[in-house]
């Protein structure tokens, strides 16, 4: 049976924490909060309802991009599979809801974003590298824009100054 998929709008309760596995795969822990907000018609003020706290996990390039882009307090749109994490500590069993993130992006409802396409050779490829992760102890480094690949049908034609659709 497949795990349930969730798509929602939430907020980061902390900055993403980027780590690397022993095999140099990037993994980011992204703490999220989803809440129901509604307008109280009598007071004309917004009231917070129930809150669902979920620990999100992103892997490889998505993890690296999320760590570079997202920060505490940002509203995001996220999609992934819900699961239950279980562990034992001091003889007691613990469980919590977790989200295996497949896609995450800042919500443009209250922010603007500049999107930079990441090419295969940029950012250390699919798994990243240990040295790059160590350099990210403070705030993330900004990636430099590169020329789009010659076979990219959506690349901007600098001579014409606009995109021509590939169809």
pLDDT in tens, 64-122: 999 999 999 999 999 999 988 888 989 999 988 899 999 999 999 878 888 888 776 55
CA atoms of 34 and 8, how far apart (whole Å): 8
SS3 71: coil
Per-residue pLDDT tens digits for 147-156: 555 665 555 5
SS3 126: coil
Residue 47 pLDDT exceeds 90: no
CA atoms of 56 and 101, how far apart (whole Å): 6
Q: Which two tokens stand for residue 53?
A: 């706290």
State percent of the chain over pLDDT 90: 43
State percent of the chain over pLDDT 70: 71
**pLDDT at position 58:** 94
pLDDT bucket at 134, cuts 50 / 70 / 90: very low
Q: What are phi and psi of 61, to 5 degrees?
A: -60, -40
Per-residue pLDDT tens digits for 65-81: 999 999 999 999 999 99
Contact indicator for 24, 124 with CB cutoff of 8 Å: no
Enter the CATH code of domain 5-135. Answer: 2.40.50.140
**pLDDT at position 143:** 46
Q: What are phi and psi of 146, to 5 degrees?
A: -120, 170
CA atoms of 103 and 75, how far apart (whole Å): 14
Stated pTM of the model = 0.64
CA atoms of 108 and 159, how far apart (whole Å): 30
122 to each of 131, 139, 141, 153, how far by Cα in Å?
Answer: 14, 19, 13, 19
Contact indicator for 120, 151 with CB cutoff of 8 Å: no
Contact indicator for 30, 101 with CB cutoff of 8 Å: yes
Query: Among 102, 2, 12, 6, which Cα is nearest to 55's?
Result: 12
């Amino acid at each position: 049976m497949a795990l349930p998929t969730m798509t929602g709008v939430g907020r980061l309760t902390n900055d993403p924490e980027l780590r690397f596995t022993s095999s140099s795969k990037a993994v980011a822990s992204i703490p999220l909060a989803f809440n129901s907000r509604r307008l109280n018609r009598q007071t004309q003020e917004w009231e917070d309802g129930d809150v669902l706290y979920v620990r999100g996990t992103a892997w490889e390039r998505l993890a690296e991009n999320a760590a570079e882009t997202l920060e505490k307090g940002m509203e995001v749109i996220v999609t992934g599979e819900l699961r239950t994490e279980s562990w034992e500590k001091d003889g007691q069993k613990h469980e919590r809801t977790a989200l295996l993130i497949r896609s995450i992006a800042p919500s443009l409802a209250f922010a603007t974003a500049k999107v930079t396409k990441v090419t295969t050779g940029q950012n250390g490829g699919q798994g990243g590298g240990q040295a790059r992760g160590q350099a990210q102890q403070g705030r993330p480094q900004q990636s430099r824009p590169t020329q789009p690949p010659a076979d990219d049908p959506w690349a901007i034609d600098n001579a014409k100054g606009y995109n021509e659709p590939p169809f």
